[in-house]
Structure formats: C-alpha cells, structure tokens
Amino acid sequence: MKNEKTREPLLRLAKRDTVSPARAVAVRAAAIALALLFCGIFFVCVTDSSITDVYAAMISGTFRSSITVNTFFKEACMLLIIAVGLAPAFKMSFWNIGAQGQVLAGGMAAAMWLFYLGNNLPNAVILPLMFVSAAVGGGIWALIPAVFRVKFTTNETLFTLMMNYIAIQLIKFLRITWSPIHALGMISRKSGTLPALFGNANALIYVIAALAVILMYVYMNKTKHGYEISVIGEAPNTARYAGISEFRVIIRTAFISGAVCGIAGFLYVSAIDHTISETMGGGYGFTAVIVAWLAKFNPIFMTLISMLISFVRTGSSEIVSRNTTTLDSSIANINIGIFLFFMLGCEFFLNYKVVFRGGKETGK
C-alpha cells in the first residue's frame, strides 16, 4: 500500500503480530510497576519524603485500621461493579460511556423510594423496591441510546455521554425539589439503609460485587446470550447471516449493562451516600470504562485493576493527610491519572509498535 512518491515518515505505527501471553503479562506487570514508581516519584517531588516513606505511607494508609481497609475494599468494589456492568456492552462493540449517568439514574430511582416512603415501609419491602427500581432506572438510561442506535444508527458514544448530563441536571432538579432551601444533605429515614452483615456495614457491597462478577462471567462465557454478544461485537455481518437479531441483542445487552450500573447507584444511595448528588460515584462511571477496557472484560483482571486503583486512591489520600498544608485531595486523581496513563500506554504498545523510517513492519 506504500505510495512510492511520498516520503516515508520518520516514525509510524504498525500493528504488532500477536504477542505471546507470557510476554503480554510481563509487559503489563512492568507497566504497573512503572506506574507505581511514577506515583512514588511524583510524591517525592511534591513532598519532602523519601520514596520508601511514600510507599510505606501508602501501604499503612490503606491497611492501618478496619476503617481504612473497609474504605479500600468499598471503593474497589464500587468501581468493579460499574466495570462489570460495562463489560457486556463493550464486548458487543456498544461503546457505553454513559455509566456515570446510569449510576445516577439508578441512584435517583432508589432515592425516590427512600425519600418518600423511607419512614413508612420496612427494610424488607423498601430495599428490594429500591434495588429493582435502580436496576430498571439504570437499564432504561442505557436502553434509550440503544434504541436510537438500532433504529436510527445514531452514535451511541455521544448519545450515552449526553445522557450523563441529563442525569446530572435531573439530580440537581430533584435536590432543589427535595430541599427548598438548597441544602439537601443525607436523607435520614427509618429504613432504606442496607443492613450490616457480621457487624460490617460494607459486607453486602462486597457480596453484591462478588455476585456481579461471577454472574456476569457465566452470562458472557457460558450462555447463548453471551455468545450472541461476542458474535455481534466481532462480526456483525456473521451475526446477521446466522440469524441473530441485532435489535434484540443490542437492546437486551444495553439494558443489562445499564441495570448493573443502576445497581451501583442503589448501593450509593442505600449504603454509602444516603443521598443523591451530582458527585455520586465520584466519576467512577468514567474510570470504570478504562477498567473494563484494560481488563478485556476478564473478571479477574477487572478485580485486580479495581483494587490497584483503589489502593492508589487510599494511599494518595494518606500522603495528602500527612501534608495537608501543601497538598489537597485532588492529588489522588492525579495519581490515578498517572496510573491509567501507563496502563493505556502499555495496551497500546502491546498492539502496535513504532517503526522508524526504513524499519520493517513485521517481525519481533
């Protein structure tokens, strides 16, 4: 395909041949190590600590007490649940970047029950209602772009993105409706709080996250639905030829994807935030996009990456706490940014290589 008349560029990108699994794992491990190293170096630059102090602080900040350990697992689980929700949509090449909006929509649906009937219904009634409404709410939020995609071939990336902003505005509207003085804090009701299990208030979050991972793995790998998803994702024409209804599968999968994100919204309302706000989920709807993509929808990798990101977050928060006069809480986001940058970079270079002028495109 090379055009002889144009000058060959100094650098260009070429698709790599398949990389051996062992090599791929080694490259990824190296990227994680490099990412953590850079996070450490970053902290050494902005604080007076040595690099060993930085890592010691990050580890102790995460594992020092039951409070910090629970925070670490809670954050990892929430990120994981959203990533799990995104996985089937991505596998189907349905680029759902509306997870944030689906979390908010689910949260709003759950919060409605809490706000209006939290004093009248017992937990055994209201929690299932909140759970189901949240799943349906999140599902509908993903369903709308899916319908438009199959009916009018709209771009689902933009559509799901815009749905996020609609959800944000609806949340703002509800907050003002529910608190005429513009001061909606925690919604304090007699019921509607997820009960503690074995004395741990977060235990049910862990259980739901584990169930979500297992069920989604089985759904995607062991069922006919899962097979249909991968066929449509990889070869839509084959799917059509094989008589798979694109309409049905896309609609169904988008709904399931949104529903899982909606369940994350339910957990925020019933177990974590106890209210709704635009900041619900702290932007995990977007971080999860990268988690799901990086992990190639593999549940074990999704779990590992979620835990690593949670560790970077809690560890960074500890460093900030020790240097509060010079650092502020947004440092954690910078570090997660560094981490994701390395991860995405690593994936890129596993798939492509840089070829210098005159170099060969093939070969190792």
Distance separating alpha carbons of residues 88 and 215, to the nearest angstrom: 12
CB contact at 8 A, 270 and 78: no
Residue from 34, 204, 282, 301 in contact with another protein (CB under 8 A): 282
CB nearer another protein, residue 266 or residue 268: 268
Tokens 């979500």 map to which residue? Answer: 212
Q: Taking CB under 8 A as the rule, does residue 283 contact another protein?
A: yes
- Of the ranges 22-30, 112-120, 137-145, 183-191, which one interacts with another protein (CB under 8 A)? 183-191
Residue 72: closest CA among 313, 258, 282, 267: 313
Q: Taking CB under 8 A as the rule, does residue 96 contact another protein?
A: no
CB nearer another protein, residue 136 or residue 163: 163
* Angle, vertex CA 314, rays to CA 57 and CA 258, nearest 5: 165
Residue from 27, 37, 93, 166 in contact with another protein (CB under 8 A): 93
Residue from 95, 113, 141, 311 in contact with another protein (CB under 8 A): 95
Residue from 206, 278, 301, 350 in contact with another protein (CB under 8 A): 278
Q: Taking CB under 8 A as the rule, does residue 342 contact another protein?
A: no
Q: What part of residues 294-333 is at the interface with another protein (CB under 8 A)? A: 317, 321-325, 328-330, 333
Q: Taking CB under 8 A as the rule, does residue 18 contact another protein?
A: no
Q: How far apart are the first and last CA of the chain?
A: 21
CB nearer another protein, residue 18 or residue 324: 324
Residue from 31, 36, 89, 97 in contact with another protein (CB under 8 A): 97
Tokens 């999140």 map to which residue? Answer: 138
In the complex, what is the shortest distance from the CB of residue 222 to another protein, in angstroms, rounded to a whole number? 26
Distance separating alpha carbons of residues 12 and 353, to the nearest angstrom: 8
Distance separating alpha carbons of residues 347 and 331, to the nearest angstrom: 25
Distance separating alpha carbons of residues 306 and 287, to the nearest angstrom: 9
Residue 146: closest CA among 30, 249, 263: 249
Residue from 102, 164, 191, 306 in contact with another protein (CB under 8 A): 164
List all residues 6 or more positions away from 133 whose beta carbon is below 8 Å from its beta carbon: 106, 109, 110, 112, 113
| The residue count for the chain | 364
Q: Taking CB under 8 A as the rule, does residue 11 contact another protein?
A: no
**φ, ψ (nearest 5 deg) of residue 323:** -135, 45
Q: Taking CB under 8 A as the rule, does residue 191 contact another protein?
A: no
In the complex, what is the shortest distance from the CB of residue 11 to another protein, in angstroms, rounded to a whole number? 15
Q: Taking CB under 8 A as the rule, does residue 65 contact another protein?
A: yes
Tell me the one-letter amino acid at 156.
E
- Of the ranges 109-117, 205-213, 237-245, 278-286, which one interacts with another protein (CB under 8 A)? 278-286
Residue ranges of the alpha helices (H) in the chain? 21-46, 51-63, 66-91, 99-117, 123-152, 156-178, 203-222, 224-234, 236-241, 246-267, 284-294, 299-322, 331-351
CB nearer another protein, residue 260 or residue 332: 332
Residue from 1, 11, 67, 124 in contact with another protein (CB under 8 A): 67
What are the beta bridge partners of residue 356? Answer: 11
Q: Which residues bind to another protein, rule: CB under 8 A?
A: 13, 15, 64-65, 67-68, 71, 93, 95, 97, 100, 157-158, 161, 164, 168, 180-183, 185-186, 188, 268, 272-275, 277-280, 282-283, 286, 289-290, 293, 317, 321-325, 328-330, 333, 344, 352
